[in-house]
């Protein structure tokens, strides 16, 4: 145990400071300042090494949290790095962008602020890389069996790394020009700088994983051809079909899906030029009145991006009521509560409106959006509907639809889809075609990075068993497991 008195002597939660808002709005770099090692040690000391560590259960990866808290408290970085990587291939991604269900489940959270688990995690991996402790793990033997992974998001990368280390020859196929999935082109740099992805990819290449970019399976190469060239195929194509709104004015120019805004913006941040010959579809929010419909991660990423592009105003609309600041009785510990979330983007500006039902979009003669009609939401027979007489119009030159995603692009690969809209699969991650495994958002529906990595690890275990008859790879989650 880190320090038997730690949770008594340090009862406050401390995190590194975020850079001042006016400064960070001038660039796209990550928002946190460098951490203070003494502060981190104090925070690690708060861990009570619980007899039943609920944090460990709250994390889909089953991270060894009390153990790595103890290692960091004692200054044993090599042990902490080893413990962290025993359960998580990419703690630098979760340590930056995970909503930390482990912290919601932390026992200390019953009557004190939870241990800063995520901060300990990211500090271990950052310090581990800086100290040269995270090196390629080259397999001792090659099995001669081959695996094609489709999609290079966190699911595909985790599955590929596990199977490469188990000695299989793995080729990751990615339709984009760069690797990383939503980590690369969804999540902006201010949450996750892309050098972290590139550093991991270097490690994976050195271990023997091969990558093919700009190749779309189902169009450039058929799934059948891929199956005939590889012993197993894993589909990790994400859940990329956006939810739409079928209301008056939806066809107006300037009413865009969030990803049609974020992806080109991320490309420009990666150094590509906007305009002809470069990122043609780049949408610049500079000087515009931006309205974002949907209050989740995607909406927050649009907000931070629009503020950096110096939008005239940014308003986020959520159809439901504002969540409470603290846990309500409906969300008791250790469940993941629905509470009012303040991401870094929310600190930076913009207006958040709740109980806002969008009823239509108004346009000008050129077919461009100029306004959005909104009414107050009321609940009728369990349905959310606009309240008559409360309609009003907000100025809007750019409307971003961040309403979530309905599932994977099912027509491209021709695999069966379940009632949830995701690809159907059995308890061993096998989809409707034998030898084809389904993992991550493609099978679970839009989820989180931590679930993607957990599924990538688990599907790797199933594929290893399929290829060799047994496996020693860990399988932290089943395909139908859910959070607390």
Ligand X SMILES: Cc1cc2nc3c(=O)[nH]c(=O)nc-3n(C[C@H](O)[C@H](O)[C@H](O)COP(=O)(O)OP(=O)(O)OC[C@H]3O[C@@H](n4cnc5c(N)ncnc54)[C@H](O)[C@@H]3O)c2cc1C
Among 160, 447, 467, 477, binds ligand X (CB under 6 A): 447
Q: Which residues pair with 57 in a beta bridge?
A: none
447 binds, among ligand SF4, ligand X, none (CB under 5 to 8 A by kind): ligand X
Contact 35/123 with Cβ under 8 angstroms?
yes
115 binds, among ligand SF4, ligand X, none (CB under 5 to 8 A by kind): ligand SF4
Residue 173 touches ligand X, criterion: CB under 6 A: yes
Stretch of 50-58, 243-251, 282-290, 442-450 contacting ligand X, by CB under 6 A: 442-450
Tokens representing residue 14 in the block: 């401390």
Residue 217 touches ligand X, criterion: CB under 6 A: yes
Number of residues that bind ligand X (CB under 6 A): 38
Kindly write out the interface string for residues 25-64 of this chain, putting x where it contacts ligand SF4 by CB under 6 A and - elsewhere. Answer: ----------------------xxxx--xxx---------
Among residues 362 and 412, whose Cβ is nearest to ligand X? 412
Q: How far is the CB of 2 from ligand SF4 (least distance, A)?
A: 8
Among 285, 449, 459, 477, binds ligand X (CB under 6 A): 449
49 binds, among ligand X, ligand SF4, none (CB under 5 to 8 A by kind): ligand SF4
Q: Please, which of residues 110-139 interact with ligand SF4 by CB under 6 A?
A: 115, 117
In which element (H, E) is residue 156 found?
Answer: helix 154-165
Among 97, 100, 147, 319, binds ligand X (CB under 6 A): 97
160 binds, among ligand SF4, ligand X, none (CB under 5 to 8 A by kind): none
Stretch of 83-91, 161-169, 176-184, 203-211 contacting ligand X, by CB under 6 A: 176-184
Distance between CA atoms of residues 93 and 155, nearest Å? 12
In which element (H, E) is residue 406 found?
Answer: strand 405-407
Among 134, 187, 460, 475, binds ligand X (CB under 6 A): 187
The Cα-based distances of 254 to 102, 281, 453 in angstroms read 39, 12, 35
Q: Please, which of residues 36-75 interact with ligand X by CB under 6 A?
A: none
Stretch of 8-16, 28-36, 429-437, 443-451 contacting ligand X, by CB under 6 A: 443-451
Among residues 71 and 402, whose Cβ is nearest to ligand X? 402
Number of residues that bind ligand SF4 (CB under 6 A): 15
Distance between CA atoms of residues 415 and 425, nearest Å? 10
Residue 374 CB burial class (10 angstroms; 0-12, 13-18, ≥19): buried
Stretch of 63-71, 121-129, 154-162, 198-206 contacting ligand X, by CB under 6 A: 154-162
Largest CA distance in the chain: 71
Among residues 123 and 265, whose Cβ is nearest to ligand X? 265
CA angle 464/199/132 to nearest 5° reads 95
Question: 3-state secondary structure string, 322-387?
Answer: CCCCCCCCCCCCCCCCCCCCCCHHHHHCCEEECCEEEEEEEECCCCEEEEEEEEEEEEECCEEEEC
Residue 22 CB burial class (10 angstroms; 0-12, 13-18, ≥19): exposed
Establish whether the linkage from the previous residue to 474 is cis, with ω within 30° of 0. no
Q: How far is the CB of 100 from ligand SF4 (least distance, A)?
A: 11
Contact 431/416 with Cβ under 8 angstroms?
yes
Give the count of beta carbons closer than 10 Å to the beta carbon of residue 388: 9
Among residues 262 and 317, whose Cβ is nearest to ligand X? 262
Among residues 80 and 415, whose Cβ is nearest to ligand SF4? 80
Residues at the interface with ligand SF4 (CB under 6 A): 47-50, 53-55, 65-66, 69, 106-108, 115, 117
């Amino acid at each position: 145990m880190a320090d038997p008195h730690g949770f008594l002597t340090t009862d406050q939660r401390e995190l590194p400071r975020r850079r001042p808002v006016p400064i960070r709005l001038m660039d796209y770099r990550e928002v946190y300042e460098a951490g203070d090692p003494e502060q981190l040690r104090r925070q690690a000391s708060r861990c009570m090494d619980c007899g039943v560590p609920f944090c460990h259960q709250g994390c889909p990866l089953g991270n060894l949290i009390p153990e790595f808290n103890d290692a960091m408290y004692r200054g044993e970085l090599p042990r902490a790095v080893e413990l962290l990587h025993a359960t998580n291939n990419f703690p630098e991604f979760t340590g930056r962008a995970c909503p930390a269900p482990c912290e919601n489940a932390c026992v200390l959270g019953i009557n004190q602020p939870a241990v800063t688990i995520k901060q300990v995690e990211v500090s271990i991996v950052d310090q581990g890389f800086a100290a040269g402790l995270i090196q390629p793990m080259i397999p001792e033997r090659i099995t001669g069996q081959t695996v094609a992974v489709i999609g290079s998001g966190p699911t595909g990368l985790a599955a590929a790394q596990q199977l490469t280390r188990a000695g299989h020859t793995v080729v990751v196929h990615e339709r984009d020009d760069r690797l990383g999935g939503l980590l690369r082109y969804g999540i902006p740099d201010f949450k996750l700088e892309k050098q972290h992805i590139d550093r991991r990819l270097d490690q994976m290449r050195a271990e023997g994983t091969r990558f093919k970019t700009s190749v779309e399976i189902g169009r450039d190469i058929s799934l059948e051809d891929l199956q005939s060239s590889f012993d197993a195929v894993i589909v990790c194509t994400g859940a990329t079909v956006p939810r739409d709104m079928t209301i008056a004015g939806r066809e107006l120019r300037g009413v865009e899906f969030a990803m049609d805004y974020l992806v080109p913006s991320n490309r420009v941040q990666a150094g590509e030029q906007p305009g002809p010959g470069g990122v043609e579809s780049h949408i610049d929010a500079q000087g515009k009145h931006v309205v974002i419909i949907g209050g989740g991660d995607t909406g927050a990423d649009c907000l931070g991006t629009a503020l950096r592009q110096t939008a005239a105003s940014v308003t986020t609309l959520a159809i439901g009521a504002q969540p409470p600041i603290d846990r309500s009785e409906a969300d008791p510990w250790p469940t993941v509560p629905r509470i009012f979330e303040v991401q870094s983007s929310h600190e930076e500006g913009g207006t958040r409106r709740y109980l806002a039902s969008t009823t239509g979009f108004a346009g000008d003669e050129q077919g461009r959006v100029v306004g959005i009609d909104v009414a107050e939401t009321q609940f009728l027979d369990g349905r959310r509907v606009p309240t008559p007489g409360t309609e009003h119009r907000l100025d809007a030159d750019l409307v971003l639809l961040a309403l979530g995603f309905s599932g994977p692009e099912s027509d491209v690969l021709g695999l069966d889809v379940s009632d949830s809209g995701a690809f159907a699969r059995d308890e061993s991650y096998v989809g409707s075609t034998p030898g084809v495994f389904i993992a991550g958002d493609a099978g679970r529906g839009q989820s989180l990075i931590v679930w993607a990595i957990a599924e990538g690890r688990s599907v790797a275990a199933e594929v290893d068993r399929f290829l060799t008859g047994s496996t020693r790879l860990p399988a932290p989650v089943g395909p139908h497991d859910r959070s607390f």
